[in-house]
Amino acid sequence: MINDILAKAQQMLPQIVKWRRHIHANPELSFQENATADYIASVLDSYRIPYIKIAGTGIMAYVDGITADRDRPVVLRADIDALPITETTGLEYASQNEAMHACGHDMHAASLLGALVILRANAGDFEGTIIGLFQPGEELHPGGASIVLGEGHFDNINPKAFVGQHVSPELEVGTFGFHSGTFMASSDEIHLTVKGQGGHAALPHLLTDPVVAAADIIMSLQQVVSRYANTMIPSVLSIGKVTANGATNIIPDQVSMLGTFRTLDEEWRAKAKQRIRAIVEGTATAHGVTAELEIKDGYPCVFNDPALTAEAVEKAKSDFPEESVIMIGQRMTAEDFGYYSVRFSSVFYRLGVGQTAPLHNSGFCPDERALAYGTAMLMTLGLYFLEK
């Protein structure tokens, strides 16, 4: 089977497209993927693929070869949640609600369904067990991956490899992007409330202005990256939401802020959070206000095992045109796949879906021909790592 994996995936493409369009038209937000999980379960049932329900709205399916080995499986993972975005593509199968698969999770889930179905039909051609993990809640802290692991599903087994893919509009259909080592950034959430004493904006000398203090904190926090970070370590600190419910003549009592801190170095990540706290506390004190800061630990960096990645790249080049396998750079976006890569040897790669609107955009519209390649690569790496 290994020599005609792509042909089998392309032959099954019309069905994979149907699965993808159903999931796309009925998106559900993180940890609310009940109907999505039910639909995936119905497909698995129709092909007699056994599964269990996990993490509330997730599913873990099993495809056993000639002999099963569920203690040493290869895990193929897809996320299934959508984003709170109103779709503007105008497609006949566009989202029917105010959520949208603008990050391609419908593509991931459909590709994994295709891989499992084809593997199930050819189970006599390989030995061992492949697990298909349909994971909820990738887009929302604390991340579905942390819940899957927290439930202990992998405590007593030793997977040979964890494999995941993510669509990429920067890559053409039929191409794959790999990166060895630290690939994607950690992601921590900053939740901050600055409290003072508000009042009439014409009498600031009688007040303790939290708006000015908050503005100073925002600017001072930029020093974390510009002055305290090693210039060779990529880092990002962004404040994305500021709420001050005052008016033209009213200074409010408090200002709330939300932001993110991301980096590609776990040691610096810990030190940076200490620096953030010191800057917030010191700046608040200087302004005579108080600051309530919570830094919610988010996803760890995605780390691609160098040896495993090198093997994956060589295998991909042997089964697909060599020029279609591309080495790509690091990304400051985050992925809760990082939780798996911290514990197990992992490979997380990008699947080319052709030029379209960016990820997390209401016009995102990947080329569905990429589904055959996504399905084929999952099978290729799954079967290859089973033999290791």
pLDDT of amino acid 25: 98
Residue 63 has pLDDT above 90, yes or no: yes
Residue 362 is which amino acid? S
Rg (CA), the chain: 23
pLDDT recorded at residue 3: 58
Looking at the predicted structure, is the pLDDT value of residue 39 above 60? yes
pLDDT at 232: 96
How much is the average pLDDT of 195-224?
Answer: 98
Does the pLDDT value for residue 1 go beyond 80? no
Superfamily of domain 2-183+301-386: Zn peptidases (3.40.630.10)
pTM recorded for the entire structure: 0.94
Q: Determine the Cα–Cα distance for residues 86 and 94; give it in Å rounded to an integer.
A: 10
CATH fold, domain 187-299, is Alpha-Beta Plaits (3.30.70)
| Cα 117–chain centre separation | 24
pLDDT score at 213: 98
| Alpha-helical runs (H) found in 196-305 | 210-221, 223, 266-287
Q: Is the pLDDT of residue 52 over 60?
A: yes
Q: Is the pLDDT of residue 67 over 90?
A: yes
Amino acid at 68: A
Residue 114: the pLDDT is: 98
pLDDT in tens, 344-357: 999 999 999 999 99
Looking up tokens 């669509």, which residue turns up? 167
Contact 68, 120 (CB under 8 A): no
Task: Give me the pLDDT at residue 388, please.
Answer: 83
Token code pair at residue 16:
């994979």
Using alpha carbons, select from 179, 154, 152, 151 the residue that is nearest to residue 164. 179
pLDDT at 82 over 70: yes
Q: Which two tokens stand for residue 190?
A: 């900053």
Q: Token pair for residue 64?
A: 């056993």
Residue 224 class from Cβ within 10 Å (0-12 exposed, 13-18 middle, 19+ buried)?
A: buried
Residue 239 to residue 261: CA distance in whole angstroms: 9
The residue extents of the domains of the chain are 2-183+301-386, 187-299
The per-type count for the chain, helices as H runs and strands as E runs, is: 11, 16
